């Protein structure tokens, strides 16, 4: 999953981020409300973990804006506010879960998995291009029935390519969507990871799926099918 954590406590945010990354999730961290709202609306996340007490804009306001623009993205409130009124208000405003601090990381992780299972009925839970299949919920990749083991970043890159199958993708687009960074023409990180993917996805198969487009970037060629 790609997860946004909106948390102004730097130590806590770093702790949660590292824990989720250890479980092979891609995690972005926002330290204030305005940054969190901008990222939530501009980028595609599978999950948002939202503190209520954020500088600049409070979590309840962010939740309302997110629900207008992205009604289906799961949102978990993670806050020190423990009053019943706060729980009821957030749940009625569109939050999918509410966990109070202090908390157990194992419980947080389990709740996020439960939210993901509930939202996995969307038609994009499994992506398929030709004989290549990627399961976003189970984080499983297969080609022609053969399991392919990927790192979290390789998985995110392949998912982005598959979502844009048949479309030419620039290196700048990949850097911005997969690494959430501004493109630096001096870096070759995209080319390095494309080579990693090719060795795992294309080597040993007659049909190559990942193609280089000279002067542009890359393209994953084939018809994409979305499955529930």
pLDDT tens profile 43-68: 888 899 999 999 999 999 999 999 98
Query: Tens digit of pLDDT for each residue in 182-201?
Result: 666 678 899 999 999 999 99
Mean pLDDT, residues 175-188 taken together: 75
Residues in CB range of 119: below 8 A, 6 or more apart: 46, 72, 74
Q: What's the pLDDT score for residue 120? A: 55
Average pLDDT, the chain: 89
Q: How many CA atoms lie within 13 A of 51 on its CB side?
A: 26
Phi-psi region of 18 (alpha: psi -120 to 50; beta: other; left: phi over 0): alpha
Cα gap 3→75, rounded to integer Å = 10
Query: Tens digit of pLDDT for each residue in 28-48?
Result: 999 999 999 999 998 888 899
The enclosing H or E element of 226 equals strand 224-227
Q: What's the pLDDT score for residue 228? A: 45
Cα gap 13→30, rounded to integer Å = 9
Q: Is the pLDDT of residue 143 over 90?
A: yes
Query: Higher-confidence residue: 142 or 215?
Result: 142
Label residue 180 by pLDDT band (50, 70, 90).
low
Mean pLDDT, residues 93-108 taken together: 94
How many residues comprise the chain? Answer: 228
CATH code that applies to domain 126-227: 1.10.10.10
> Where along the chain do its domains lie?
2-119, 126-227
Q: Is the pLDDT of residue 116 over 90?
A: no
Residue 76 burial (C-beta neighbours within 10 Å; 0-12, 13-18, 19+)? buried
Neighbour order of strands in the sheet with 97-100: 26-30, 2-6, 47-50, 75-79, 97-100
DSSP string, 50-116: E-S--SSS-HHHHHHHHHHH-TTS-EEEEES---HHHHHHHHHTT-SEEEESS--HHHHHHHHHHHH
Query: Higher-confidence residue: 207 or 2?
Result: 207
Q: 2-119 architecture in CATH?
A: 3-Layer(aba) Sandwich (3.40)
Label residue 145 by pLDDT band (50, 70, 90).
very high
In angstroms, how far is the first alpha carbon of the chain from the final one?
Answer: 16
Q: What's the pLDDT score for residue 157? A: 93
Q: What's the pLDDT score for residue 176? A: 78
Cα gap 185→182, rounded to integer Å = 10
CB atoms within 10 A of CB 131: 14
Opening angle at CA 73, ends 157 and 65, nearest 5: 120
Residue 119 burial (C-beta neighbours within 10 Å; 0-12, 13-18, 19+)? middle
Mean pLDDT, residues 138-153 taken together: 92
Q: Is 26 helix (H, G, I), strand (E, B) or coil?
A: strand
Q: Are 182 and 174 a contacting pair, CB within 8 Å? A: no
């Amino acid at each position: 999953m790609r997860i946004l954590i909106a948390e102004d406590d730097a130590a806590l945010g770093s702790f949660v981020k590292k824990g989720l990354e250890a479980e092979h999730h891609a995690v972005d961290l926002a330290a204030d409300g305005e940054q969190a709202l901008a990222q939530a609306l501009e980028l595609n996340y599978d999950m948002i973990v939202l503190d209520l007490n954020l500088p600049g804009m409070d979590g309840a306001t962010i939740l309302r804006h997110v629900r207008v623009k992205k009604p289906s993205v799961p949102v978990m409130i993670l806050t020190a506010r423990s009053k019943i009124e706060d729980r009821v208000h957030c749940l009625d405003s569109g939050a999918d879960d509410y966990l109070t601090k202090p908390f157990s990381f194992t419980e947080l992780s389990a709740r996020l998995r439960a939210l993901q299972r509930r939202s996995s009925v969307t038609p994009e839970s499994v992506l398929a291009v030709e004989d290549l299949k990627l399961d976003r919920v189970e984080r499983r990749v297969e080609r022609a029935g053969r399991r392919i083991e990927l790192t979290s970043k390789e998985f995110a890159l392949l998912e982005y390519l598959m979502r844009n199958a048949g479309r030419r993708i620039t290196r700048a687009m990949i850097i911005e969507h997969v690494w959430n960074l501004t493109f630096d023409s001096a870096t070759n990180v995209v080319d390095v990871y494309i080579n990693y993917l090719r060795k795992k996805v294309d080597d040993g198969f007659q049909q190559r799926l990942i193609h280089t487009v000279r002067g542009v970037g890359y393209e994953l060629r084939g018809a994409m099918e979305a499955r529930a």
